[in-house]
Every structure is written in structure tokens, then in C-alpha cells.
Structure 1
Amino acid sequence: MEPQAVALPELDAPVRPRDLGVVVCAYTLDRWDDLVAAVESLLTQVEPVGEVVVVVDHNEALLERARARWPELAVVPNAGQQGLSGARDTGVAATSSPVVAFLDDDAAAAADWSGRLADAYSGGPVLGVGGHIEPAWPAGPVGRPSWWPPEFDWVVGCSYRGLPTRRSPVRNSIGANMSFRRSVLDAVGGFAGSIGRVGTRPTGGEETELCIRARSRFPGAEVVHEPAAVVRHRVTPERATVGYFRRRCLGEGLTKVQVGRLATHDEALASERAYVVRTLPAGFLRGLASGDPRRGLMVVLGLAWTGWGYLVARARA
């Protein structure tokens, strides 16, 4: 049965930075320094947020260490199924703010992030707001690989060339830097636990599926992309490789099939059609003309690997 469309006056309500409850989900001690940087970036905002919650995904040692580091914060274990969806739902339940924001444990928010994110809720019925995710490539000789096309920065969970450069409606936000009104999360029932990232598995899609569900539930309201709300997302050296690029593209193809099962395949691929038709051809030409023409080749390979992952997953389904 199709969900009944609902319109709530709260979708027009203004949002202040202190209306934000921010959830940071963590799962491994290997990213402890990143987690500290993420939480501290929230505690030092120019305009303070209302609350910060750290959710630890089935890791007792990390839970104890985080509680010792931030006794003043709510540091809670994932009360649901292991994985990012369950951890995010646990974080939502542990907050009371009218807007719930999510920051990855390896991302750090700019000092004005809270104000920029809150301001984007003005100007009409808004379901949620996501911001710009800037990749922080490895220091030293690794850096950003010269062959890596900016059109594929989504491979490392960051904003990519092709996203709006001004505040604009989008189909979905990227999980490392996103927020939703609590009334919307309550109405749609949170994240779908059957999809999404668990540990280092290179799949995702839970935020895409939730945004599709929310926009269906509240027609006329939008998910907004605000490029001025910036976070820096650390890219580890092992992710700045062709092997990871390939695995992540194949995983994205699988993700689209999983999202399509819960929504529709048309909705799961709506944004990707314009991306393939407009963004990637231009990226291919730019790559060939760049200092490293392998960048153009990687545009083709990235599309091929993603498409192959999608076709194989559809065939298996």
C-alpha cells in the first residue's frame, strides 16, 4: 500500500543552530583520532548546537573509551541491528532536538557549519538539509591521485562535480553531512535496516532510500543541498587506490538495486540519469584534456564498473 501523503505545518518552521541535535556514529578504535576531531568540531561551533550524541556500533572497548573522553555527552551503544542504519536510529532516539543532524566519525565540521545548515531550513517546506563534503586527501606524496576524476568523489563519500553549487533541492543528501526534521524521521519510521553500510562493506544507500520515502510521504516539501555548510571528510591512503575505486563502484551498483527494491528503480536512478547523460561526458573530456589523461579513462571505467554491479545484482534478484 502506498504511504498516505501528509502535510505538516512544522515543515515551514524556522531552525536555529541550537535546534540541532547532532549524531556521530562510530564503530572502530582505528578511527579514534578522527572521532575526536569530529566531536570537537561540533563542540566548538561558532553558534553552538543543542546536543551531541555519540553512538558506538557494537564495540565495547570503543564505547568505554568514548564515555571516558566525553562524560558530559550522551555516548550510547547501538540498540539495533549492527550497521549504520541501526546506529543512526539509535542516535535519533537518544536526542530530543527538533532537527537531527548526522556527521560521520571521520569528518570534521567547519566552524560555521551549524549556522549554515540551520539557515537552509528557511524559505519553504523543507524535510532535511545536507551540506558540502570536502575530501581531505592523504598528506604527503599520496595526496589526491592525479587520475581521480572529481565526478567520482562520491566513491570516498564526498560531494562530487555535478552537484548544485548553490542552495538547491536534491533527491537526497549524502550521509556524512545531512540533517532531517524530527517530525519527518518519526513519520517515515527512520532508516531501513535491510540496506546500508556495515563496517567497511562498500555499500550504502540508506540515506537515499529515506529521502525518497520522505519526499513521497510529504509531497511539495524538499530535501535541500546547502554547499555553504561544509565538512572535511578524511580519505585514508587505502581508499585512494584503483582497487578501492573499483570495489566502491561495484558496490554502488548493488546499492541501487537494493534501494530500488524498497522504493522503485525509477526513483533509485532518477538523479543518476542526468549524471550519466550530462556530468560524465563532460568529465570524460575534461579528464582527457587534464595533465593526466587517465582521469578520462577512469570516468569510463567508473561508469562501467557501477553499471556492471547494477546488472549483476538485478540478475541475481
Structure 2
Amino acid sequence: MSLPTSSVVICAYTLARWSELRTAVRAVVDQAVPADELIVVIDHNAQLAERAREEFMPLHHTVNVVENNHPRGLSGARNTSLDLATGDIVVFLDDDASPRTTGWLGAILSHYSDDAVYAVGGSAYPVWPDKRPAFLPAEVVGEPGELDWVVGCTYRGQPTETAQVRNLMGANMSFRREPIVALGGFVSGIGRIGRVPLGCEETELCIRLRQTHPDAQIVFDPSIVVDHTVSADRTRPRYLITRSYAEGVSKAAIARLIGAEDALSSERAYTAKILPRAVGRETSAAARGNPVRAWGAMAVVASVGAAGIGYARGKLSTSR
């Protein structure tokens, strides 16, 4: 069976990630199953757009560099790509993420042989600037930790085998193009704008997709891997707090748009089951003579607290 056509999209906003962006673009161009088009969307940065056109468009005739013609931010940039994309499947890759193998795109597209599959995503593993921060808990070195979502990566609690999920992570996700275009694409105002660490626009879209198409399958395949560069500023405790707070604000916005039950269904299970185990494990390790592990327990508590405050603030702003 032939694979569906594909449009791979990379959104970028800053020259500070130029090296990572270049690596991502070349990794897509080198895929064993080539993309029918690669759209690089530059978010309101004329200097970056000029440099990207000069370097990337000569690489291959399928590469196109365009500027965001929607409101500034990741949602607007992604919606710009939806205005232009022609592939049956639209694949989104972060500008600081790179497919681990040349089989990445082929593995994504193979899932769409099932007509019930509307979206497919994979794992994102962190590439630390030095080493994993001591305050981020992890049961096994090299495996996802409970708070790795803070740095945009796969976290403990997600499926370890191919499974249906509520939503995908933005660094490594794909959709059938026509259904999400019909839904109006990504909602502006809840996603990341530059360095402001809001998020959840892909969560909102996935939930809205399932609400509109109840039988649609959203598939997470952890074997489809990208390596996600973590900048130094994201390895500091302050970022953990600000990102967790922003997550709470974004979740409040989603709850307003699509209802609290759908918006918080996965988070309730994660908070009730996964995080308490992490606190107990890290506390026990600290008591057994590894005091550094206490930082992991404190980080979990701080993250939950910051997210709760953000959610309350978001709800209050909504009510006003």
C-alpha cells in the first residue's frame, strides 16, 4: 500500500536556534521516505527569514521558507503552514528537535494506513547542554522522568508501547490535514509566543478533533523518536516554576474553550498516580543516603503548586 503524501512543517522564531534549525531541516531532507514538501515558517523575524531562504531553499526543490501571516506565536505560525500545505498528512517538528533516524517520517506515515487514525505522534528525548539537572526526578538514568514535559520532552507516565492517547506533544506530531483545517487549525492565545512558556495549543486541537470525530484515533508510538535540544535557561529551577505556572494558565484557557472534563482528564490521573510515586521514591532515596534526590521530591511539589496557582489565576481572569 502506498503511503499518503506529507507536508513537514518546522516553525522558527529566533536566530539563537539557528544551529538546531539547520540540523532539523537537513534531517528532514535526508529522510528515507522523502516529504512531498518541507515548509519552514518564520515567526515575524525578517532577518531569520532571509537567512533561512538563502540556505534552505537551495537544498531541495521541496523546501519552502515562508513568513507567518497570522498573529505572532506558534499557533499562528502553524496555521500559516496549514494555509499552504498540500500533503494528506501534516507533520510538525520543533525547530530545536531532530529525527533520530532516517526512518522517522516513514514510520509516522505507515500508521495512516488505518483510516481511523487521525493523528500520530512520537517521543522526544532531551539533549541536555551539560547533564540532567539534579532537581528533575527520574527513576532510571536516560529514561523519561516525571517532569520532563517541562522541557518539552516525553515524560514518565506516557505509554511505553504504541497506544491511543488524548493528545500529542508538539515537538513530534502529525495530523490528517483536511480534518484539522476544517476545525480552523490551532487556537491563538494559548500557545507559546516567543520565549513566553505558554502551551497546550496541540492539546486543545487534539481534544477538539476527538469531540468532532468521536471515533478518531490519536496514536502515540514511542519508537518514533526525535532528539530535543534543551537550552541552558530551561535547566534552572526558575524555569520549572514559570513553565508549570504557564501550564496551569493554559489549561484554564482550554477548560473554558472545551470543558474542564476533557481538558483535565489526563492531568487528574497523572497528578493522582504518577507524581505521588515520584515524591515517595525520591524521598526514600534521600533518606537512604542520597540527599540530592530530595530536590526531585521538592521539584514535583513545587511544579504542582505552581500549576495550581496558574490554573486558579487563569480561571479568575476568565471569570472577569
**TM-score, normalisation: structure 1:** 0.91
Q: Distance in 1 between matches of 2:283 and 2:30?
A: 43
Determine if the alignment matches structure 1 residue 164 to structure 2 residue 148.
Answer: no
| Counterparts of residues 128-207 of structure 1 (less than 5 Å) | 128-139=119-130, 143-149=131-137, 150-207=145-202
Letter in 2 for 1:222: Q
- 1:259 and 2:259 matched: no
Structure 1, unmatched stretches of 5+, are: 1-13
The answer for the alignment partner of 1:274 in structure 2 is: 269
Q: How does 1:37-48 map to 2 (within 5 A)?
A: 37-48=23-34
Structure 1 runs of 4+ aligned residues shifted over 6 Å read none
Q: Which moved more, 1:41-50 or 1:224-233?
A: 41-50
In 1: Cα distance, 2:9 partner to 2:280 partner? 40
Q: Say yes or no: does 1:21 pair with 2:7.
A: yes
Structure 2 stretches lacking a partner, 5+ long: 138-144
Q: Secondary structure at the match of 2:112?
A: coil
Q: Structure 2 length as normaliser, TM-score?
A: 0.90
Alpha-carbon contact 1:15-1:119 (below 8 Å) kept: no
Q: Which amino acid aligns with 1:299?
A: V
Pair 1:90-2:71 in alignment: no
The change in CA–CA distance for 1:133 and 1:15 in structure 2 (over 3 A counts) is farther
Q: Is the 8 A contact 2:27 2:99 kept in 1?
A: yes
CA deviation profile, 1:164-223 (whole Å, cap 9, x unmatched): 011111111011111000121122111112321110111011111111111011111121
How far is 1:45 from its partner?
Answer: 1.3
1:289, distance to aligned residue in structure 2 (A): 3.6
**Within 2, Cα distance between the matches of 1:137 and 1:147?**
14
Shift of 1:76: 0.3
Verify the 8 A CA contact 1:15 1:118 in the aligned structure 2: no
Q: Distance in 1 between matches of 2:297 and 2:31?
A: 39
Task: Classify 1:15/1:308 alpha carbon distance in 2 versus 1 (closer, same or farther; 3 Å).
Answer: farther
In the other structure, the counterpart of 1:102 is 92
What is the CA–CA distance in structure 1 between the aligned matches of 2:16 and 2:231, rounded to whole Å? Answer: 11
| Equivalent residues of 1:197, 1:203 under 8 A apart | yes
